Amino acid sequence: MRSERDDEKLMVQYLLGNLSEEEQVRIEDRAFSDSNYMGALEAAEADLIDAYVRNELPQPERRGFERRFLISPQRRSKVEFARDLARIAEASKTAGAVPARPSVWLSLITMARAWNPALQFAVVLIAVISVAGASWLMVQNRAMRSRVASLETERRDLETREEALRRQLGDEQNRAGSLAAELQRRPSVGAPPVASLVLLPGLSRAETSRTQLVVNSSAQLAHIEIVLEARDDYPRYTSELRTRSGEEILIRSNLTRRRTAAGYVVSFDVPTSALGAAEYELALKGVGSDGRPQDLGYYYFSVQKP
């Protein structure tokens, strides 16, 4: 199969009259039946003419060309036209010979020059708005990215903290588990370590009502809480605990009241070792700002040690 280059060479030889009659007929028949081939033959003729006017043909071909092309007015006209076209093409050379792909900006500017001033103004305005819009979007985009990054960091911190808390919780649970196990191992687990006694105003102040404080063997302290009446408002309080026989057991001074759900209370702890199984009297005194004590009430209770 003949390549395009071979075809081209054959066409040139045909145009220069260097082929046999048979080959000439073959080329002509193909040209008359195939428009593409006819076009290629015409293009080859144009290129040959150009090569001639540019002195690019070797001497033998040049002579053949002159014999073949310079005898008819039509072909001479073609040769002269090719010469003129080459001259104008060379003269039109500007900055560079290579017709580089025109830049989009250059094309736009060229196009814009042909517009009327109103259209030019409108386009410039649109361009300015577009640039401003694009800049704003870029700034927004950047801020958004920064915010997203910060949120991401925050999320990671929270995850880390959550993880730490989970670990801590796990540790606490383990500890609680081991403490529970230890408590189970101890036989006295059921008894509270602190004995509590709440003394209410009113009945407990009277000898007729006796309150009991049960002190288990495991209890180290007895927590005594005295609920005050609204009028018993002093900066300091003193509590004196004694047996019914008058033996003083404990005096606690400088006590302050505190608010609880039940009202104002004064509380203090007594070592259980100081309490025997007996009946006791507790005197509560309010100490005013002048330092003078004022009796507020006497409470009676008994201690039981099972």
Partner 1 sequence: MGCPVLLGRFYPAGRVVVDPAGETRRSKWSLTQQGFDGLLTALGPDRGTAADRYLDIRRNLVRLFEWRGCPTPDEYADEAINRCARKLAEGEQIRDVATYCIGIARMLVLEMSRELAKEARPLDKAPEPQTPPEPVGDPEFRMECLQRCLDQLSAENRKLILHYYQGDKEEKIKNRKGLMQIFGVPPSTLRMRALRLREGLHLCALNCLQRQGRTSM
Task: Note the residues at the interface with partner 1 (CB under 8 A).
Answer: 14-15, 17, 20-21, 24-25, 28-29, 31-32, 39-43, 45-46, 50, 54, 56, 63, 66-78, 80-81, 83-90, 92-93, 97-102
Gap between the Cα atoms of 202 and 207, Å rounded:
11
Is the CB of 114 or the CB of 181 nearer to partner 1? 114
In DSSP terms, which residues pair with 285 in a beta bridge?
Answer: 238, 295
Using an 8 Å Cβ cutoff, are 289 and 199 in contact? no
Tell me which residue has tokens 């100490």. 287
Query: For 19, left (φ over 0), alpha (ψ -120 to 50), or beta?
Result: beta
How near is the Cβ of 84 to partner 1 at its closest, in Å? 5
Q: Is 2 exposed, middle or buried (0-12, 13-18, 19+ CB in 10 A)?
A: exposed
Q: If you count them, how many residues does the chain have?
A: 306
Gap between the Cα atoms of 28 and 120, Å rounded:
56
How near is the Cβ of 154 to partner 1 at its closest, in Å? 52
How near is the Cβ of 82 to partner 1 at its closest, in Å? 8
Strand order in the sheet with 194-199: 194-199, 221-227, 263-271, 258-260
E strands along 62-202, which residues? Answer: 194-199
Residue-wise over 86-117: b if at least 16 C-beta within 10 A, else e?
eeeeeeeeeeeeeeeeeeeeeeeeeeeeeeee
Token pair for residue 15?
A: 């145009």
Is the CB of 1 or the CB of 100 nearer to partner 1? 100
Is the CB of 67 or the CB of 147 nearer to partner 1? 67
Using an 8 Å Cβ cutoff, are 240 and 251 in contact? yes
How near is the Cβ of 126 to partner 1 at its closest, in Å? 25
Is the CB of 15 or the CB of 228 nearer to partner 1? 15
How near is the Cβ of 123 to partner 1 at its closest, in Å? 20
How near is the Cβ of 56 to partner 1 at its closest, in Å? 7
Token pair for residue 247?
A: 């033996």
Residue 50 Cα to chain centre, angstroms: 68
Is the CB of 58 or the CB of 246 nearer to partner 1? 58
How near is the Cβ of 53 to partner 1 at its closest, in Å? 10
How near is the Cβ of 29 to partner 1 at its closest, in Å? 8
Is the CB of 79 or the CB of 250 nearer to partner 1? 79
Is the CB of 46 or the CB of 214 nearer to partner 1? 46
Is the CB of 67 or the CB of 175 nearer to partner 1? 67
Token pair for residue 123?
A: 């386009």
Using an 8 Å Cβ cutoff, are 226 and 239 in contact? yes
